[in-house]
Structure 1
Amino acid sequence: MTLQLGIHLGERFTLDETMAAADLAERYGFDSLWVAEGRLTRDAISIMALLADRTETVRIGSGVVNNKSRNAALMAVSFKTLDEIAPGRIICGIGAWWEPLASKVGTPLKKPVTAMREYVDVLQRFFRNEEVTVDGEFVQMDGVRFDRMYAENVAVDIPIYAGAVGPRMLELSGEIMDGVYLDFLLPVSYVDFAKRQLDKGIAKRTDGVTGVDITQAIACAVDDEDPRRAIDACKNFLTMYLMQQPHIAEHAGVAPEVVEQIQQVAGWPATPEDIERAMQFVSDEAVHAVCAAGSTADVVAKLEEYHAAGVRVTVLNPLGANKLGTIEAVARALAPSTGAASAAASAAPQSAAA
């Protein structure tokens, strides 16, 4: 299995940078682009449509949308529309959202695994062009389906990937989904845990599927002139997430007392100044455990660790002042394995330093 690359595109990218990243992905033969929709910043589906129209080969995934803020029928139609723009290249990445944001907008998390099972079942039935009637605890549909009046309604091939972290959601992913989009800030050792949980779900399948695709976002930063800057960029990111989503600490291997120290500085939402003050409590070791940071060689070595553990696509979540430089540095270093040797050979050298 060859290491493949993707790019995680969130609010840290301007729209111009987002389009430039897509161009790099096409040039270097990347597997996929994943558009974030976590906090109340940007809608993922609008950006996916722009990327789908701009590109020709790279796959476009949501990384991830949630199963609470859009009706399941509307979600199915939205992804079917994206598939019209880029046939066969769209991935529906979906998660359960997170607290406290879900409660702040009036949709608190309740029985997330049950809710996900119901929601994904409806999506899959729509994608198979079936009429859908369900009376679930979280999802209700009454005789609905794709409803084009002036063209034939047909099935669409849109794989569904779960943004899963916990053991029960991972097991469900193995049972009913096509793949998983593992979160950033999770150590290499977590991949083994995830695979065990996925295998439990795969054992329950009745459709003949014997495995699911594993992709993972990796927080990363390259700076060959000053690797310290790259490490600090990732440390800033890890600190921010420990402030706003402290539940990640368990899987990231961060001690509870460190989280308490950080939370004493600020919770969510945190200001950039709060994050800077709290960074002192996060060690370099913690950063290197869950991020790929430093020189190009350092970052590539870390990506290869994740790949060796079972991640097919390592999705770059580039941080720091030169995000596009990080993408290109990694792409050039891995060009032979990603099938982009000719692109690397024709591109002029460029520093990824901030």
Structure 2
Amino acid sequence: MSVSFHIGNLPNQSVQHALEMGRRSEELGFDGLWVADSHSVMRDAYAILAVLATQTSTLKLATGVTHTVTRHPAVLANSWATLQELSEGRAICGIGVGESAVHNLGLKPERLAVFEEKLGVIRALLNGETVEYEGKEIQMPWSTSPVPLIMASSGPRSLQLA
């Protein structure tokens, strides 16, 4: 068994603070940085992760966590494939049903059955497969480096899916 040490960001931190935290975390030997994807509470996770990918070389870069409520699965897969390429294989997709991130917008977390379907679409696209979603065939043939997906869980049903 191996142990790794990761750090996360907090609400109200400036972009500059998040970037400095990433650079400093790498200097201190942390394995990864998880950036929250919570609209209206945090800065944009994907913008921060993209910049960190260019300013660090060993730090794993993850969302803690993203969700499928406000982003189409193909958009998420595209963002992750791009981040994986930009970071040269250091991306980790922390993903869940939404919970507090969507409550802030007056939305409800994803139903587990819908989340499971969207997660399958994301996985397939990240693996360069063609997938049908909502009657449309989608593919990202340029996506060649799989992105690890780590699922957040807050209950027994989602834990079983994870």
Partners of 1:45 and 1:56 in 2: CA distance:
17
- Per-residue CA deviation, residues 32-67 of structure 1 (Å, 9 max, x unaligned), is 100002241322111110111110001000111111
Aligned to 1:33: 33
Count of residues in Structure 1 that have an aligned counterpart in Structure 2: 161
Aligned to 2:139: 145
Residue 26 (structure 1) shift: 1.3
Give the AA of the match of 1:122. Answer: V
User: Structure 2-normalised TM-score?
Assistant: 0.89
Report if the CA contact (8 A) 1:6-1:34 is conserved.
Answer: yes
Partners of 2:11 and 2:102 in 1: CA distance:
19
Aligned to 1:22: 22
Structure 1 residue runs of 4 or more that deviate by more than 4 Å after TM superposition: none
Report if the CA contact (8 A) 1:132-1:141 is conserved.
Answer: no
Structure 1 residues 114 and 130: CA distance shift in structure 2, 3 A = same
- The 3-state SS of whatever aligns with 1:133 is strand
Give the AA of the match of 1:155. Answer: T
Partners of 2:144 and 2:132 in 1: CA distance:
17
Are residue 53 (structure 1) and residue 54 (structure 2) matched?
yes
Structure 2 alignment gaps of length 5 or more: none
Report if the CA contact (8 A) 1:7-1:33 is conserved.
Answer: yes
Partners of 2:143 and 2:102 in 1: CA distance:
34
- Per-residue CA deviation, residues 312-353 of structure 1 (Å, 9 max, x unaligned), is xxxxxxxxxxxxxxxxxxxxxxxxxxxxxxxxxxxxxxxxxx
Report if the CA contact (8 A) 1:91-1:160 is conserved.
Answer: yes
Q: Which structure: larger Rg?
A: 1
Report if the CA contact (8 A) 2:62-2:93 is conserved.
Answer: yes
Structure 1 residues 104 and 60: CA distance shift in structure 2, 3 A = closer
Aligned to 1:9: 9
Structure 1 residues 104 and 91: CA distance shift in structure 2, 3 A = closer
Are residue 119 (structure 1) and residue 113 (structure 2) matched?
no
Are residue 75 (structure 1) and residue 69 (structure 2) matched?
no
Aligned to 2:151: 162
Report if the CA contact (8 A) 2:49-2:62 is conserved.
Answer: yes
Give the AA of the match of 1:172. Answer: L
Are residue 95 (structure 1) and residue 96 (structure 2) matched?
yes
Partners of 1:54 and 1:2 in 2: CA distance:
26
Give the AA of the match of 1:79. Answer: W
Structure 1 residues 102 and 13: CA distance shift in structure 2, 3 A = closer
Structure 1 residues 103 and 84: CA distance shift in structure 2, 3 A = same
- Per-residue CA deviation, residues 151-182 of structure 1 (Å, 9 max, x unaligned), is xx242220111121111111100xxxxxxxxx
Give the AA of the match of 1:143. Answer: E
Partners of 1:13 and 1:172 in 2: CA distance:
33
Partners of 1:118 and 1:8 in 2: CA distance:
28
* Larger fraction in helix: 1
Report if the CA contact (8 A) 1:92-1:159 is conserved.
Answer: yes
Partners of 1:2 and 1:36 in 2: CA distance:
24
- The 3-state SS of whatever aligns with 2:92 is strand
Residue 10 (structure 1) shift: 3.0
Alignment of 1:1-354 (within 5 A): 1-41=1-41, 42-98=43-99, 102=102, 105=105, 107-109=107-109, 112-134=111-133, 140-146=134-140, 153-173=142-162
* Percentage of matched positions with identical amino acids: 29
Partners of 2:149 and 2:124 in 1: CA distance:
12
- The 3-state SS of whatever aligns with 1:70 is coil
Partners of 2:104 and 2:17 in 1: CA distance:
30
Partners of 1:11 and 1:103 in 2: CA distance:
15
